[in-house]
Amino acid sequence: MLIPGNIELFENIKAEDIERLLSCLSVAGKSFQKGETIIAQGSAIESIGVVISGRIQVSRNDFAGNRVIVAEFGTGAIFAESFVCAGISRSPVTVSATEAALVIFLPYRRLMTSCEKACSFHQQLILNLVRLVARKNLVLSGKLEICSRRTIREKVLAYLGMESAKALSREIVIPFTRNELADYLSVDRSALSRELGQMQEEGLIEFDKRRFTLR
């Protein structure tokens, strides 16, 4: 399998060594269509997923059956790593494709156990994984900070501010529809729409579907 050069998990590993590594771990790619479930909430998990192309969304259903969007990731992202590393055997979240996606699954036990050859590129892969896990935790900490805000307006401004900082621009395109944004912020969809309209009237923001401008 040809791995694109922008996949950070394989950073500093030569292309030929990536092929050897994937063969050693018996890894193969799997394609998913938009809207297709990659991992269902409650299903068994033993592997770390890597998005080779496309986008995925991580969500969960609470006890009342409400959907909560945890995060959305694109090419190069890893998922399910925290659960398998923590020894959690059943996924507490659902992972689905928000557009056509190609994913590979790295078996955790084989990944974390070097073979008798002790290949240097295997060790590099583990180092890359640790770095990505740390970055992912920072992203999820940001989500926690957003959702800890008390009002819808505060949550919206915190979210858009973080996205603006990442994009280095006051004009951003978010990955969520209006319903998805409400689920991500854990707020009522109608209340969110009203607040966005009020914020636009007050000149705090401008928006058109997924495109937002901070004023």
Q: 27 pLDDT band (50/70/90 cuts)?
A: confident
In the numeric block, the tokens 């969110």 are attached to 192
Give tens-digit pLDDT for 155-166.
999 999 999 998
**Domains in the chain, number:** 2
In this prediction, residue 169 carries a pLDDT of: 93
> Domain containing 164: what range?
149-214
CB of 86 closer than 8 Å to CB of 132: no
Answer whether residue 2 is part of any domain: no
What's the mean pLDDT in 201-215? 93
108 three-state secondary structure: helix
* Residue 103 CB partners (closer than 8 Å, separation 6+): 29, 30, 31, 32, 38, 49, 50, 51, 52, 54, 56
Say yes or no: 199 and 130 in one domain.
no
Say yes or no: 33 and 113 in one domain.
yes
Q: What distance in Å separates the CA atoms of residue 90 and residue 95, rounded to the nearest whole number?
A: 13
Last residue of some domain: 112, 140, 168?
140
**CA quadruple 193, 198, 186, 188: dihedral sign:** negative
What token pair was written down for 49?
Answer: 């997923």
Q: pTM above 0.75?
A: yes
Last residue of some domain: 107, 140, 173?
140
67 three-state secondary structure: strand
